[in-house]
Structure 1
Amino acid sequence: MADAIRRQAASQSKAAQVKKQKKTSQNTAPNPLDQLMQQIQNISVDPTPLDVLLKQATGTAGSQFDPLIQQLEAEMARTENRGKQNQATAKKMYGDLATDIAAQMPEITNQMAQASRETEQRYDQTQGLLKDQYNQQAQQQAELYKKLGIQAATPEATQQASDDQSYFQNQSKLDENAALQMLSEMKNSDVSYNRQSSDNTRLAGVNTAADIGAQLEDYMQTAGSKLTGLRSSKESAIQAMLAQLQQQDAERIQEQESTQYDQLMDLFNLQLKMQEMQQKNARESKPDQLFKGTNGPSGASNYLGEMYGPSDSFSSKAIMEALNDVMGSPEAVAGKYQSQDMKDSYGNPVNLDVTPEYLTDMLRRRMQEGNPNTPLSNPTFSDYDMNNAINALLAYMGKLK
């Protein structure tokens, strides 16, 4: 497009120079094509600031991921608090139970001490009863021996009773010691069991708290991985949305610039049409104009020379080359062409007459597609060149008025 505009500017400038040479006075009005080029160069649409696009992308992605992230964060916080509370509760519950168990040890000691005292009292009473019984029996025996007149046997009988008394008293003492020993062992066993139960209960509380902590850690790791995934997905969504917004903004800029360009070109084409109307009026006012009333290659050449001036050796030559290719084509020479859209009853293409419209389409395609024999040297024609080529074709056919 820029090459076409430069070509068009060069052609217009040359045409303007030719007209100035024919005028008696200088025209100081600015060149419309120079103004067009300046306006095209000044076309600029500001892009949307990056921070605005980033804020929009972040908001769009946030509306999708932020509720999930906030919900998971709140759940993780609640679970962590609840886990720590459960740990503290377990430790306190088992600790209180261990304290209660340990508090029973004084009672056990007191109960065993009381049982020991009661045992000692019972054996002391037994010793007293044995002593009283043997003393009473010895007295009764002495009185009996006295009545029988055998006092001499009294010491021997008394000694036997004393021996029996000592034996049973010793036996009672052994039983007492065995009972006291058994009570002491029972006390020690109960106190040891109580102390062990208290320690085990306290350890169970520590283990339970540790289990709760391990479960909490497993949950926090799983939830943390999920939270990291959500945040990563949000960041990816922001980048994707930002890229999409930047693409849309670039398309907006291109569309607005294209719209401004089209508006400038429409205005310029309007100016060209007005200029062509003025040239047409000028030609009609000059009945002795060189190409008027002529046809064939000379008519087309004269028209192009009038439009581009004698100093142009490129545009008019390229247009004339394209025009000669069209008019020298087999269709133009034969005056017939095969229609690919219309078929006869046998399905064969129908031959139609070559019309000015058909030749105009051929010329337009030739100038747009270029010469296939010299693809590297094909020029780019502007709308101004295309209009001049069509008028040259009319002059070639003697139809330019």
Structure 2
Amino acid sequence: MLNIADTLHSWCAQPRPFALATIVQVTGSAPLPVGTSLAVNADGQAIGSVSGGCVEGAVYELCRQALAEGGTPVRTRFGYSDDDAFAVGLTCGGELDILVRRVDPQREHSLSRALSVAATGEPAAMVQVVHGPPGLLGRILPVFGDGSSYDETLGGERADQAVAAQAHAHLAAGRTGLVDIGGDSATCPDRLSLLIHVNAPRPRMLIFGAVDFAAALSQAGVFLGYRVTVCDARPVFATAARFPYADEVVVDWPHRYLDQASIDARTTICVLTHDAKFDIPLLTRALTLPVAYVGAMGSRRTHEDRLRRLREAGVSEEHLARLCSPIGLDLGARTPEETAVSITAEIIAHARRGSGTPLTWSGGPIHHPYEVSARPRP
């Protein structure tokens, strides 16, 4: 849903009913993750996508039907179809469960408010019932970074509070996710499956070393949706003019900046300094942090010398195993721009558990099963 939050917010302001179709379950190979939505307004205008094209027409018609008839939200499964040219289905071999519902902004003020917050980029979550009693199916409870209003959206204040606690945990991790709750008197009598849509701040990419490779990498990082910081202790090189794509350029010793930087499990750290007096204190700290990726540039000789120095500094073998060095995938890259592609390709493969091998050399599904998580927002 948050992939089209800006447009949904404007539609809520009109206000006219629209239909919302959301992926609530993915099995096997599928092009888009849980939480992605397509919406259709009263004029027939469609935004978003749920399959990259395979079943868009069928979902569009379900949305038009929901707009015309209203009623209980409908959950529909689309599976594999290839034998019949006129059959509706996925050609990638996976299965999608899609929940389609009519939204009336005049009645759903909490949804409008949540979309408003999401459109500004502020932390917010929308908890959507994707399986449960017909009377609750499709309902949405907004949860904001500074709290939530418990209006008995999910059947009672106690249920709202229990769901909000789950949503705050997902907000803290920056992850969209599916959870089951209820079936007991402590929360709510009905057992519910919930999709928690999370609008989290952009993940961070920390680039240490104000070199030409950092300029290209900062541009690639912004393109992928990261909030990019370039840090270097040398003020003559660490300037905004040299790194126009970075969100911020910091003049400080790398390890000292990292000690006070805000990081989370989505943060990537790229060390491009090529200098032991910067690298070793920085990596000694970075390799112990709960971040997504730590990579360091250098030749294989530099890498071996770096490992020796890190061991002498007391870094354990367990922590050394987290270091991606020499940084990047083997693409034969030479220019800064090619090297940036090499590095970001490794970051993506690392995050998605990809092998990094050409698809022509591998078997099995092209799309790896999604870890349901918030995608970086540009």
* TM-score interval, normalised by the smaller of the two chains: under 0.3
Greater per-residue strand proportion: 2
* TM-score, length of structure 1 as denominator length: 0.20
Greater per-residue helix proportion: 1
RCO (CA 8 Å, sep 6+): is it higher in 1 or 2?
Answer: 1
Q: Between Structure 1 and Structure 2, whose CA radius of gyration is higher? A: 1
